[in-house]
Copies of this chain bind each other. A is one copy, B any other.
Amino acid sequence: MPHLFVEYTDNLDGFPEVPVLTALNATVIASGEVLDECDLKSRVTRTTRFAVGNDATASRGFVHAELRLLTGRTPEAKRDLSERIAAVLREHTPKPEGMLVQLSVDVVDMDRAAYFKGRL
């Protein structure tokens, strides 16, 4: 059931989308928090129109992930997942010379009572 959304700014040339997805899914599955591996659905998008703070130049970029999980995880389990995801992103994200690159991971509860899940 988890959904993972990763977004990176397009000044991070060479961001390796497929390796990042593969590594993230392996890491999240290895955490033991996903009952069935095929429940984890992840995607990467490239953000082309952005601004970081008051800087209009290309000297700032970011990678941001959002993990959405059904309610019930402990705060510790969520923090652990957040850090695992950040470690993968840190390892794979290119760091252009002179650029400030921020990294963030948001973990969001999904309402178990309202969530629908099925297969075609």
**Chain A residues within 8 Å of B, Cβ to Cβ:** 1, 3, 7, 17-18, 21-22, 24-26, 29, 36-45, 47, 49-56, 60, 62, 64, 68, 75, 78-79, 81-83, 85-86, 90, 93, 95, 100-111, 113-120
A95 → chain B closest CB, angstroms:
5
Which of the residues B49, B78, B118 comes within 8 Å of A44, measured between beta carbons? B49
A68 → chain B closest CB, angstroms:
7
**Are B120's CB and A78's CB within 8 A?**
no
In the assembly, what is the distance between CA of A93 and CA of B102, in Å? Answer: 29
Which of the residues B26, B55, B114 comes within 8 Å of A107, measured between beta carbons? B114
Which of the residues B51, B56, B95 comes within 8 Å of A120, measured between beta carbons? B95
Which of the residues B18, B40, B53, B93 comes within 8 Å of A53, measured between beta carbons? B40
**Are B103's CB and A120's CB within 8 A?**
yes
